[in-house]
Structure 1
Amino acid sequence: MYQHRDVLEHISRRQKELAAHVSRPLWKKLRDQQQCDVQSILIKERPQLTLLEKARRRESESLYNHNYLGRSAADIALLRQLRSDRNLLDPLRLATTPPMRKLTAQQFMIVRRFMKMLQARNPMYNRRYVRQRHGPIADQERHRWQEMHLFHTQYQTRRDCMRMLHEVHRRRREGDVEKLSDYVEDTMSRFIEHKTHRTLPWKFEFINEVYNILALAHCDKCAVPANVDFLQAKNRPILYLLRTEKLHDMSVQFGGPNIYVEIEREDERHSRIIQKLEQLESRLRHSRFSIERSYLLFEIARCHFQESRFDKCLVVARKAFNEARICNCLLWRFNSIFLCCQVHAVLNRFERLKESLAKASQLASELQAPKLVAYIGICTNVNNYDLAFQRIRQSDVNRRKSRKRSPISTITSNSSQGSMSSI
């Protein structure tokens, strides 16, 4: 011990130093290294998948489940859905929801672990290899079957597209633009987006035709009824195709109508618009065609207009106008600029409305549509009347203000002259 006392003293001294050492916080170390001293949390960005990629993954998962579970694949699909089902996992039921969420997640993990074990014992490529026959004759039959399946898919896709096109024409003749817009959005997002150029070689032509028909349906709305005096302020919503707001009596009366029903309806309408906005923005991220982007931006602007977010509506409508200019589509340019006219009409911006109507009139002339030219001409004349009336009122207000200031100014001038004479 005496011989190794130096080593022992060094070890004890080192242990005391380590015990007394307090580690410096991370932000001080980063500050000494002239780096960012903010302890930030990295945001994990979720991968933004296209609708086609999502469909491919769903199909691959369904094939995987059927290969290893057979008829029980429907059960695992239901179990996956129950993990995020609000009907089962009600957030308002604080006593039963946490254990049910834990139970569904645990059972799903058990099934997935079992499927991974099966996949490790017998992979899918080996199962496919065992089931198939081999040899040149089997390869020829497989190739012929693939061609038959491809031709059948192309033929069925063509029939479906023709049926959708006839339905779009029929709905346009009916004149209900809202139902036509919903039908086009549902068709494009659920069917056409899942088709590749192999199964639908004329995909761009079909998209172009459907969106042009929808744009024509929006242009068909630009008409006014006869025997209506548009110089009256109460008829402005009819002229600019604005929805009249229905005023509901929200006072509570005993035995009267239930006001909570109206509140629930308004909440449902608001939630539907938010859901539609999310779907349109998701499609906009992966859209490749300019005419499709102009349609999506126009629908987003319409949603903002329905929610009375007029500034956002103007910004998005200008983006739709620029996209329509890229694809050289006069119809969507006219619809976008007319939506800006509607916003200016709601806000009584007569000067900006005059500029927007001038652009709309030029586009209507380029479209060679006499009805649109006549309609925009009526809107321009009414706006000029409103603008002249506003200027007259403004001049009257300024004249009254000047008359109110004149006695004070004369008194001050007289007092100043009196003071100068006394001096």
Structure 2
Amino acid sequence: MRLKRILTALTALASLTLLTTACEDSSGPPVDTVPGATAAATAAAAGKGSLAEAQAYVQKFASCEDMGTDPKDSRFPLTDFTTVGQWSVTERGVCSDKTEHGEIVFYMPSDMKAFQQGYLDRTKERIAAGEGTYGLFSRVIIGKNFVITPTKTRTAVALVESDLRVLSCNPSFFPPDGYKREKALVEGCGLSDFVNSTDGKGSKNHEVPHDPATEGPEKPGQPATGSLGLPSAGSLAELKKMVHPHTVDCTNMSTEDAAVESIDYQPVVKGEHHSWGVEVRAVCGTLGGAQRAHNLNWLDLVSDMKTLQTRAKAAQLADLKDDGRLKATASKLLVGKNIAVETNSPSVRLGLYQLQFLYLNCEPGFTTAPAGFRLEPSLVEGCVLTNFERDNQPGGR
């Protein structure tokens, strides 16, 4: 079966984050460079040298009134993203976005490369601390001599229609085709005009499957029957190519050790995988040995999807029985047409949702999802397929 690469399906898982009052969103991974893009272009040649001039530029594309610089201004985030004296920031201001009922915070760095390095270091620290989703929904928008963080998604979308660009440093983020992918001033980050969002108001993903008959203002992404589209692969090699390296790190992959599990990483499929309807199975990551196993994720080429979903439902219900929650170490099953991935990593799941995989959710009573998230019937009664996770709403700058 020919593999059709379906990129970032963030039709809102994108969907998965709510902007915090401290609108300093997450960033995305180093994006690929569009041929011909230069570091100068990626620095987004917008803005001059003063806060007033930066405001004047922003006002061409968004509402930005009543600029204030008093550190006690209540419009500043309660928790600083960064402030004067850090990341070469010499001045900070905030204006009211009256159109979208939000704020836009300005940062004036004396050294733009130092600012971007500061954000990269912050992103790495947060990811290392366990926040794998940090930076996936960045609202850090870069000009030539200034940086802004709008609190409202629609404002961010309007701003990147200019020469401003979103700074992304989370390695799991990759903008979809049709959007600019430019080099940042530091290795490990990228600039893009794609605003990644989970509230359904971000940049339009042209690769997301659409159903005009059902994609109305209330419940986009939820077809009356069938599916809006799921990924498929003709072989395990094709599945690996689909997910590696941007979503699942399969630098080390083994079919012989596919049944492995650890105290930190428990797969969905237990025992002989053929009895689960899985034709071929592999594990990606570092197996236990001299050091503790880490980054384990399982890839499945499925011959009987109904059997897999039936057994996965039983396992999920057994895990939910005690306290109504899945164990943190338990993997969730994300499925395509004839493929699946088992993972307990929230950041990996976000990447898989972008590839159109959907989570098999058999939680009793779960029958709906917020507007903008996909929700489709599964092959077994009592379960749904979705890219919405109630307990996994990513935040961060």
**TM-score interval for Structure 1 and Structure 2 normalised by the shorter chain:** under 0.3
Name the one with the larger strand percent.
2
Compute the TM-score of the two structures, normalised by the length of structure 2. 0.19
Compute the TM-score of the two structures, normalised by the length of structure 1. 0.18
Higher-RCO chain (CA-CA 8 Å, sequence separation at least 6): 2
